[in-house]
Structure 1
Amino acid sequence: MAHDELFVETSIPEQKAVNGVLFPAVLSPSPTADLDLGSFAAAVASQRPRLELLLRSSGALLLRGFPVPDATDFDRAVAAFGYDELPYVGGAAPRTNVVGRVFTANESPPDQKIPFHHEMAQVPEFPTKLFFFCEVEPGSGGETPIVLSHLVYERMKVKFPEFVARLEEYGLIYTRVLGEGDDPSSPIGRGWQSTFLTKDRSVAVERAAHLG
């Protein structure tokens, strides 16, 4: 099977049409594909321009039905895209490294609300792309909702024009006070040791200064 036949555009009920474009775009393997991670990686390598164009035009890309049963295979699937890995330094969420570049999403209690946000927006070195993976489907809840932030911005300019004008003029400063250990009750409860991946205060200060 040709690599361009491996990724077939499909749909899900939750998709939204935004200015005539479906969000997110959804790709599944062809029903006749004899698929494994090796052929997936080869297809990604040959089809990467098409995949990135689809991602840019839609805003998000959902890959459904591919052979990724666990975190190790997910790490291999992500590696197939060839993107540089960004160390999780400066992030606020309490997370545990599972394998390779795979981390848990957030380990705060289920009753904690996590507002929409850009990942690591408070630091100058932030990821340009994020991959999400669900290994064990929860009985209820557990979804990771996503939004098109440029639409949020446009609506805010209409509804709160003075506030948006002040943001554009003055910018925004985040202030965080970090304890030594993690606070598992908070969705932004990482302490300074795990935030800067060190137990050495001088190293933490150096890495904080590097992040501005």
Structure 2
Amino acid sequence: METATKLVEIAKRLYDRNMNAALGGNVSIRLGDEIAITPAGINKGFMTEDDVVVVDMEGNKLRGNGSPSSEGKMHYEIYKARPDVNAIIHAHPPFAVGFALAHREIPDDVLPEATIVLGNVPCLPYMTPSTIELACEVAEGLAQRNAVLMANHGAIVVGRGLEEAYNRMELLEQTCMSVAYALVLGGVHHIPPAEMEFFVDNFGLKREG
């Protein structure tokens, strides 16, 4: 089972890779019937294990010095809906946020690795941050996916563990960057539809629409 040490390491890695800044973003792990989550009001690049807050599945604080992230509701609702998920990362990578501002999705047919690891990444409609409405919308959006964008907000990914969740966030940002560059160069050429059957047959890709 992962620990607060790993949570702090991932939070700092996100900061160091410019995927979070100032007080933004949050990271959590499931610890049985408890959740360890980054605190509110702290720069995640400089937090310590002592800053990590532990809550129950309803978000009631059990241990820790500070308050749990104001976006904790998203984490709690996702864990309730996804028993296979043990780690959640919400971050603000610049290119991914650019797509969220433009209300643009990342389709599943642009880059092979992104096709396999991410699939289609939709941009969910805007909802007020820190509300149960946003939390429920995100949990529903992630019911059959592992990454989504939130309009005018940021990105959120899930994983069986923190490394898997982190890799998904890093790949999402790289994919958004690559698509943005392609648009500058004249447009994105998609993987041919017939070729997408390879990913359906060999990697279990479930295509939408």
Q: What TM-score results when the alignment is normalised by the length of structure 1?
A: 0.31
In terms of fraction of residues, the more helix-rich structure is: 2
Q: What TM-score results when the alignment is normalised by the length of structure 2?
A: 0.31
Larger radius of gyration: 1
